[in-house]
């Protein structure tokens, strides 16, 4: 199938943001005098909406989870978003895909204003027709809602024109809910088993493998 738009997740797909995210989580939990989870738990925060993760992995009720997110953003907005790096091969594949005429879009659960700043910082913003992220409140924070928002902004009427590329089950499930196929990126934070179980149509180990599937 010929796709017209390629939607990319941000964390774990375009950039390795693990350090900035985990440092921001630790900052929030310390400020709230809460225990710091093991690294094996902290890595589970990479991908899902933060409110959901603070509830699921720290046992917080919704009100406390929302407070934790606000504190998290104190650190992330000034330091954490720059504790980040672009994965090898990403810049080259984006340049190639854009030259081939694909409409490139970022669809991420990270707040849109942070996503724009990160992509501008790494000079990746020039490749994207649209950068769609979550809202700072909870009105648009699931991957499904972000993908739907991006589709609406682009005026896409046929979901078959769009392919999602992401590294976690949330990318796959959000895409499926919007009737979009998703390719799993194995260089990110999700496992092969997680992505296949969620329904990824294919898996790639390196960014340059994407062109062979298009």
Tokens 């999602």, located at residue: 164
The two three-digit tokens of residue 212, written as one number: 């062979």
- Does residue 9 have an active-site annotation? yes
Q: Are residues 211 and 97 in contact, defined by beta-carbon separation less than 8 angstroms?
A: yes
Residue entry with tokens 């693990």:
18
Question: Which of 9, 11, 16, 167 is an active site residue?
Answer: 9
Rounded Cα distance, 80 and 18, in Å: 9
In whole angstroms, give the CA distance from residue 130 to residue 151.
10
Length of the chain: 214
> Would the CA dihedral through 51, 113, 70, 40 be positive or negative?
positive
Catalogue the active-site residues.
Answer: 9
């Amino acid at each position: 199938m010929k796709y017209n738009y390629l939607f990319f997740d941000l964390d774990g797909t375009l950039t390795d943001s693990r350090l900035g995210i985990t440092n921001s989580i630790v900052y929030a939990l310390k400020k709230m005098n809460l225990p710091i989870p093991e690294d094996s738990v902290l890595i589970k925060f990479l991908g899902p909406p933060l409110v959901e993760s603070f509830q699921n992995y720290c046992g917080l009720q919704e009100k406390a989870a929302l407070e934790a997110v606000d504190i998290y953003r104190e650190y992330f907005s000034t330091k954490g978003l720059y504790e980040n790096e672009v994965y090898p091969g990403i810049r080259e594949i984006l340049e190639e895909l854009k030259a081939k005429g694909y409409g490139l879009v970022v669809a991420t659960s990270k707040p849109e204003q942070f996503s724009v700043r990160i992509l501008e910082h790494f000079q990746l913003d020039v490749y994207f027709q649209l950068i769609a992220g979550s809202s700072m409140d909870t009105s648009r924070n699931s991957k499904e809602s972000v993908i739907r928002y991006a589709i609406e902004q682009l005026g896409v009427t046929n979901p078959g024109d769009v392919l999602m590329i992401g590294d976690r089950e949330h990318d796959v499930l959000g895409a499926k809910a919007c009737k979009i196929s998703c390719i799993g990126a194995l260089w990110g934070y999700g496992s092969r088993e997680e992505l296949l179980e969620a329904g990824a149509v294919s898996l790639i180990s390196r960014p340059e493998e994407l062109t062979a599937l298009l």
